[in-house]
Amino acid sequence: MDKEYNIASPLLYYSDIIFLLGTEAIYRLSILLLSTFKNNLLQCQTFESIMEFLKVDLTQMDTSKMEEVFNQIISLDISKQLTVYEIEYNVIQEEMQFSANVSIFEE
């Protein structure tokens, strides 16, 4: 018999945070989940076991722990680091475009 997953309440909280913070909330949640559940995730041997952890164990988190995680998401400030990544990405894109243009003219 299939297990039932109760993901409604975490998703409702998370959707509120996405509306509040935008797509940066996705990065914040990812960083927070990886750091908070690092040991649990490292014990998983396969991708399927990671997915099982995310679907079952994570969704059965008690309310106080869930509130703690969402409060940390709101307080976590990664905007400076995301700006650095954006600049690095743009520089790499420009370098690739420049090298592509130079190779066209060399032929």
Give the per-residue pLDDT at 75: 83
As a whole number of angstroms, the distance between CA 65 and CA 9 comes to 13
3-state secondary structure the chain: CCCCCCCHHHHHHHHHHHHHHCCHHHHHHHHHHHHHCHHHHHHCCCHHHHHHHHHHHHHHCCHHHHHHHHHHHHHCCCHHHHHHHHHHHHHHHHHHHHHHHHHHHHC
Q: Which two tokens stand for residue 43?
A: 């014990």
Give the per-residue pLDDT at 30: 84
Give the per-residue pLDDT at 103: 66
Give the per-residue pLDDT at 58: 77
Kindly report whether the global pTM for this prediction surpasses the value 0.75.
Answer: no
Low-confidence ranges of the chain (pLDDT < 70): 1-13, 102-107
